[in-house]
Amino acid sequence: MILRKILPPTHAVVVYLYFFVFFTFHRALSSVVALSYAHAICNRIPGLAPRQRTICLSHPDSMAAAGQGAKLAFEECSYQFRLHRWNCTITDNTAGRTSPLAAQHTIASKEAAYTSAIRSAGVSYIITQACSQGSIMSCGCDKTKGDTSNAFSSEWKWGGCSADIKYGLTFSRLFLDSKEVKEDERALMNLHNNRAGRKAVKSQMDTQCKCLGVSGACTIKTCWTTLPGFRSIGDHLKQKFTKAKQVVPLQSSRTRNPEFLHLKRLKSLHRKPRKADLVYLKRSPSYCEKDEGIGSLGTTGRLCNRTANSYNNCDLMCCGRGYNTHQYTRTWQCDCKFHWCCHVTCDECTELTEEYTCK
Amino acid sequence: FFSAGDVCCRPSGSSQCTAVCRAIFIQNSLPTSSQSRMIESVCEQSVAQCVHNYTELNPPTSLREGLLCCDHSDNLTCQRKCRRALEVHTREEDIVDMISEHCGLPNAMEPLWQCFLRSSTNTIRRHEYTYGGRIEMTGVDGAKLQCCAKAVTPGCRQLCVKVSGTLLFTQDYNGSIQTYSRWTTSVRFHDECTYHPRERDLNRCLEEVAEPCELGCSNLSFCSNFNYRPTEMFRRCDPEADDMAKKTAQIWSQGAISLPLILPYDIPVRDIRTCHPEVWKAIACTLQIKPCHQAVRATWICRSDCLSILGDCLDYARLPFGLTAADICQRLSPHDSTLPCISLSKYLIPSEHISVHHEVTQPCSSNPCSASQICMVSRRKCRNPGKCPLYTCKSGCAMGEVLSHLVPHKSYVRLPKATDRQLQCHRVCKCGHHNMLHKCSEMECQEERACVVSYNRIHSHGSKFLVGCNKCSCYEGEVTCTQRHCPYHASTEIYTGLPCNCDRQYAPVCAHNGRTYPNACVAKCLGLTDLQIASGQCYDQHPCQPNPCEPLQKCLPKRRICLDITSEDCSQYECAHLDNGCRKQKHSTVCNGTHDFPSACVLMQHRQKLAYREHCMSGCQSSGVVCGINGETYSSECAAWADGVLLDYLGKCSAAGHLTNAFSQNWSCSNVICPNNSLSIICKPFVPPGACCPICAGEIRVLYSQTAIQKAAQLTSSPVSIADIRRILHHHIMVLECDLFAYLGIEGDLIIHVVPVVRSATPLQLEACRKESEKIGSLIISSSPTLTSHVVLATFIAAEMHL
């Protein structure tokens, strides 16, 4: 340690220097706690913007949930695009020096738009869920929907513990949007898509109602807001993906940086894109060939289906390169019978099947 | 954590040593090797030893949690290296560096790093002790969570805990999160458990938290026969319940009664608008307004009523084959005709008390305060009658995320740990600023140990039994009994009725817990030593001579009675700084007989004489020495009321008073003249234990556990006095004309009365106060969370009502 080199002078100086080093090195003494894992980890996660790092240090539990959200988003994205050429891989050109949470596509394509949106949706979703489950210190049930007000006049009232979607959306906005420090068109696109993702979560929130009471007469229902399954959000964003709009940045007269994004249309009407739509700047590459520069892994080795009518048809998936057929015998257990007592015997069925992978 | 640092570092001689020592305690991990060497070289042996002992015995919990986190990694090499890092290094920076070498840079998407991040939150929380009412600390609903322990079936118990406590998510081996939807769990709980016949205790407990019983309803439009009944209790008197009843009756008039949670089929009836419409209206209203009956555990309708109404109105043509009215009534009414039921006959006609219902006022019945505030009845003396507010809205803390039950500011509450399966472990929090619970500390878990009494008899925890004539109860392995001396007919000694059969001689002594005992024999019988008693009544003692306060402070006598007989610090005075304008004094209103003052200190500044320590009250005499029913002398009737004690007779106390089971009463209180009790014509007066003269009231006798009181005193950092208990309980009295009085009997139990505090009480008011006392008594007996949430009230272990 540094201390060993300073040891020769008198003890008083040693102690003073030790104290000095100690206090400057561990800056988080402003709070009662000096050290914790959060300090060590947050300072070492690559690719975080300064504001993101501050949020990580002050809310480590929310950070953990945000990471879970990003992972959920990645899994959902992989599911939604499992039959497409691009199956939700992100390769950016920072050579592994960015964490997957903050990674960004090289080309501002539709796929980049989907990635931003689903990531922002995933973070909001998991944070809201973690709030209801009590694993985040700074949030809980939605307080605005907690108390039963005195004056009743409607058919329903709020009750119980509603999911605190506001906290989830706010955290997602503060955390993910603070990554966009540059003020260029890519940042505008990312901010728009983040917002689209958050809107998707908000729009899919359910309100469940139930008549609580002994008689079947349901005069006033008690309602809660609940989170849907994440699959519905993934589906919703996939639809937005197919109808994503291309945009161009518009300079405003005073500043050098672009201020708005406008739809690129052949007609000359300049219109802003809808807040719930996904936007992109450049057309997507074909993702057929492997090209690290544009972030494509190519389709070599992907499974395809010879007879399917969709994107994973072997002609489309393999981009005309052809496919390898792999024949193998598939065995599985069939005709299982339960014998009293208590074991199960099964037969083994075999089948000759073929598997096709792109060249 | 810091206090340990003080203990070890303070005795050090040099400032260098202090600095190094404190630095070690400030950081949240084990001292590094260089720090240890520094301590050894710079500090004295004792300090070094102290530091060494402390750090040996208290490894940072970050170490333990870290090991659990290592298991989250998929890669076995990574797991091994992670554990090795935790063993080798002590500073988190080094640990993280070493783990990153083998497991990759920190990445918030990996469960391993997520676990470490979450454990840092635990560290922060532990230091601040601020739980802030968040779900993981208090549960969604801390009050209802206490009811879950009363569930009979394990299924309902689990559902109850899931709904009101924390839901922990589980991660299965795929890493995907299985979520417990709080919504579906709540719906399942409602459908399966709420009206289940076996879960009566659970449901009653939940009802008492969400919909407590209160006297009297008013302003109901559809269920108007329920109005103006100030001596009956109902759970819901709001317009919403009224409307629900109306709509229910409308739906029923379409020909079928459906009660989906009780009966699996609909009851076909003829048009209820023509067949006994008043009875059907009463049934619909009863189901929504829910009259409370002390002994009834659920809203049962009497079987005779059920049979008669169904006999007349059942549509036999549409009835499913084989079903009779008797079958239906078996499900709707109690099986046993001896169980009490709600009789419908009185709700068929308007109340008989319509003309006199204004005698009983309930200022809080219309819920005037907002949802996050508590309505408290204010019984102050009103100088301009008609213009004083009858209630005040005080802010309170919710015991969880949901505002079902609020506790007042500065009260100490205990909450079951939301994640504990057994629900026996609690934590105690204080209701502080911003309506948040803070300063939480963990309590030891209760164990339901059985008690072994003499002759090898074993009693289970919570059981009540008699030992001779004494009522006893077993609580956590400790038996608490009343201290009566039981008469033995065969004995030749004269039975006095006092504990330990002490002489009836009245030579009062004052014990150090503030209580006067009739003679030294009784005091010693109850466990006090010679050093703890002084001769003379406590009224005659002078706690301010010699002046126990610091030189610049003035001593003011402040009498109180502490429940723990052995407590040493039941001080009978308070110290006041007169010079700086009494700003440091806690605000506690006092009266000089006519006017209120914000504190005794301010009263002294104005050179007034202290009459009693309470808001000025009307309804009592404010001059003339009196003896209270607890055997203590007070300077006036109002002073007695301020202490929660009713008037026994005028003049100083001069006799030991009647006691239970004493069959020779004619020579006690012989020199006492009882005041003329005009109430004796409208009630049946009785003599409370320890008093000479009869009163009109309902009585509740509560047995409490001494060890629990001592623990509560530790948690609240001050001895528990009767005033504390009375303050919490009397907020539950919602009738303006009644108030709660409590005193410590010399037989070892607490005696509670609820009586009218107006000058001449009417029969209706007496009855209303008796019902309030019945309400409090049943809350104590059933251990309702509205009371047991308070740490001091959770010490009650058994109670008995005499009404």
Q: Which domains does chain A have, with CATH numbers?
A: 36-298 (no CATH), 301-359 (3.30.2460.20)
Alpha carbon of B794: minimum distance to chain A alpha carbons (Å)? 27
Domain check: are B267 and B234 in the same one? yes
A37/B contact by beta carbon, under 8 A: yes
Strand partners, B556: B574
Cβ atoms of residues B318 and B268 within 8 Å: yes
Look up residue B757 and give its two tokens.
Answer: 């505090």
If one compares B725 and B683, the residue with the highest pLDDT of the two is: B725
Cβ atoms of residues B787 and B727 within 8 Å: no
Q: 215-274 in A: which are within 8 Å (CB) of B?
A: 215-217, 219-220, 224, 226
Q: What pTM value is reported for the model?
A: 0.76
Round to whole Å and give the CA distance between B479 and B474.
Answer: 5
Give which of A132, A156, A209, A220 to mutate to test B binding, by max B Cβ within 10 Å. A132
Query: What pLDDT is recorded for position A192?
Result: 92
A7/B contact by beta carbon, under 8 A: no
Tens of pLDDT, residue by residue over A211-240, are 776 665 666 677 778 888 899 999 999 999
Residue that terminates a domain, selected from B33, B57, B81: B57
Query: What pLDDT is recorded for position A2?
Result: 43
Domain check: are B409 and B433 in the same one? yes
Domain check: are B285 and B416 in the same one? no
Q: What is the average pLDDT score of chain B?
A: 79
- Counting residues of chain B whose pLDDT is more than 90, the rounded percentage is 2
Residue that terminates a domain, selected from B359, B388, B423: B359
Q: Is the pLDDT of residue B160 over 90?
A: no
Domain check: are B352 and B229 in the same one? yes
What does the DSSP 8-state code read for residue B499?
G
Domain check: are B65 and B53 in the same one? no
Q: 151-180 in B: which are within 8 Å (CB) of A?
A: 166-169, 175-177, 179-180
Lowest mean pLDDT among A145-159, B561-575, B712-726: A145-159
Query: What pLDDT is recorded for position B702?
Result: 92
Q: Does B284 map to a domain? A: yes
Q: 555-584 in B: which are within 8 Å (CB) of A?
A: none
Half-sphere exposure of B424 (CA within 13 A, CB side): 8
Which among A35, A37, A208 has CB closest to B117? A37
Sign (positive or negative) of CA dihedral B118, B123, B124, B130: positive
Cβ atoms of residues B532 and B511 within 8 Å: yes
Contact A160 B179 (CB under 8 A): no
Q: Does B7 map to a domain? A: yes
Structural domain range at position B12: 2-57
Tens of pLDDT, residue by residue over B490-499, are 666 677 777 8
A54/B contact by beta carbon, under 8 A: no
Phi, psi of B365 (to 5 degrees): -70, -25
Q: Does B236 map to a domain? A: yes
Q: Does B99 map to a domain? A: yes
Tell me the mean pLDDT in the region A77-95: 78
CA distances from B802 to B753, B762, B770 (A): 10, 21, 10
Query: What pLDDT is recorded for position B106?
Result: 85
Cβ atoms of residues A237 and A244 within 8 Å: no
Tell me the mean pLDDT in the region B719-738: 89
Round to whole Å and give the CA distance between B590 and B612.
Answer: 6
Domain check: are B230 and B346 in the same one? yes
A34/B contact by beta carbon, under 8 A: yes
The answer to whether the complex's ipTM is over 0.90 is no
Domain check: are B325 and B422 in the same one? no
Lowest mean pLDDT among A93-102, B699-708, B741-750: A93-102
Strand partners, A157: A222
Tell me the one-letter amino acid at B790: H
Contact B108 A67 (CB under 8 A): yes
Domain check: are B309 and B349 in the same one? yes
Helix (H, G, I), strand (E, B) or coil at A218: coil
Lowest mean pLDDT among A61-65, A79-83, A163-167, B123-127: B123-127
Domain check: are B53 and B109 in the same one? no
Q: Does B458 map to a domain? A: yes
Contact B109 A67 (CB under 8 A): yes
Tens of pLDDT, residue by residue over B12-30, are 677 778 777 777 776 655 5
Which among B16, B107, B402 has CB closest to A146? B402
Q: Does B420 map to a domain? A: yes
Domain check: are B288 and B314 in the same one? yes
A31/B contact by beta carbon, under 8 A: yes
Round to whole Å and give the CA distance between B437 and B418.
Answer: 15
Query: What pLDDT is recorded for position B799?
Result: 87
Query: What pLDDT is recorded for position B136?
Result: 63
| pLDDT band of A120, cuts 50, 70, 90 | very high
Domain check: are B36 and B75 in the same one? no
Tell me the mean pLDDT in the region B582-597: 79
Lowest mean pLDDT among B110-124, B606-620, B635-649, B664-678: B664-678
Domain check: are B257 and B273 in the same one? yes
Look up residue A7 and give its two tokens.
Answer: 């040891």
Radius of gyration of chain A (CA): 27
Residue that terminates a domain, selected from B128, B163, B181: B128
Q: Does B620 map to a domain? A: no
Contact B120 A38 (CB under 8 A): yes
Query: What pLDDT is recorded for position A152?
Result: 46
Task: Provide the domain count of chain B.
Answer: 5
Round to whole Å and give the CA distance between A195 and A85.
Answer: 26
Q: Is the pLDDT of residue B233 over 60?
A: yes
Q: Give the strands of the sheet with A245-251, arranged side by side.
A: A258-263, A245-251, A279-280
Q: Does B221 map to a domain? A: yes
Closest CA to B208 of B160, B157, B153, B143: B143
Instruction: Annotate B381-439 with DSSP letters as a single string.
Output: --SSTTTS-SEEEEEEEESBSSTT-EEETT-EEEEE-TT-SS---EEEEEE-GGG-EEE
